[in-house]
Amino acid sequence: MAYKLHEVRRLFKMARLPNPSGVPDARRFKMALEGCRAIALRSCEELESEWLILLEEIIKKPIVPVGLLPPSVDERNENANESEVEIMEWLGKQRSKSVVYVALGTEVAMNTESLHELALGLETAELPFVWGLRKPFGLSPDGEILPEGFEDRTKDFGLVVKGWAPQVKILAHESVGGFLTHCGWSSIIEGLQSGHPLVLLPVDLDQGLNARLMEEKGFGVEVERNEEDGCFNKEDVAKALRLVMVDEEGESYRKRAQKMMEVVRDKERQDKNVDGFIQFLATNRSLEA
């Protein structure tokens, strides 16, 4: 399990960029690791015990999983705004497990070319979808982020939500059956919490490794990309979508995601991780870095 070449290039470029503090992020990370006494991670042994053990061997400091900490799900429509009501009404008209939810996070954005290929992939797959779409940073207010005519051509089976969307609530809806994600850790946990197989399209930072882990565990499939520059096309997107959502060969992803849902939703099991972390803090107050 490793970063791909295009991910490494982008990661190193970002890590060396100056920021308002005057300290590059790579140095900040190094200082944090050297100065800490232990590392608490939002994870659990049921998901990645082998990697937690390896990390402890590499870092030479205690690694303490605090659990997956899944968010609570409120399926009521009280105090919902107009956009949220529209989304829920649209989902209510779709067949059970037929819809793929698409979201690329709030921190890192894809370029316009990649967004166009993603859009055309959704169109090619011809699967019902809800897409929570944010405008990329740096794009002019009048800049178009979707291919011309895309929304008209997909209006019978797709809904584009421009701006914030209630992700946890959408994922919990009975009509949703899969999740195309940028592989941010919170989004992955929210997808597995609802038992959805994942279509993995990492953008930056830790997302590439998150995607490899999910594919290794059999919870989803990563969209094929060019190793050098990270480019992908609409056929790559459509292939991954149909495999995870409807193809017979993708049944194993759907079953494993459902199985993992039981782990994520097991409150007693997750609370034990939190209790273990509290106990660790109580018994290691004098732990030296």
Domains assigned to the chain = 14-69+267-283 (no CATH), 95-265 (3.40.50.2000)
Distance, in Å, from the CA atom of 93 to the CA atom of 89, rounded to the nearest integer, reads 7
Q: Does the structure show a pLDDT above 90 at 231?
A: yes
Q: Does the structure show a pLDDT above 60 at 142?
A: no
Q: Mind listing the pLDDT tens digit for each residue in 14-43? A: 777 777 888 888 888 889 999 999 999 999
Query: Percent of the chain, pLDDT > 70?
Result: 93
**Average pLDDT taken over every residue of the chain:** 91
DSSP string, 4-39: -HHHHHHHHHHHTS--TTSS-HHHHHHHHHHH-S-E
Distance, in Å, from the CA atom of 35 to the CA atom of 184, rounded to the nearest integer, reads 26
Q: Mind listing the pLDDT tens digit for each residue in 61-81? A: 999 999 999 998 875 555 668
State residue 56's pLDDT score.
Answer: 95
Query: Percent of the chain, pLDDT > 90?
Result: 77
Does residue 139 or residue 94 have the better pLDDT? 94
Q: Does the structure show a pLDDT above 90 at 286?
A: no
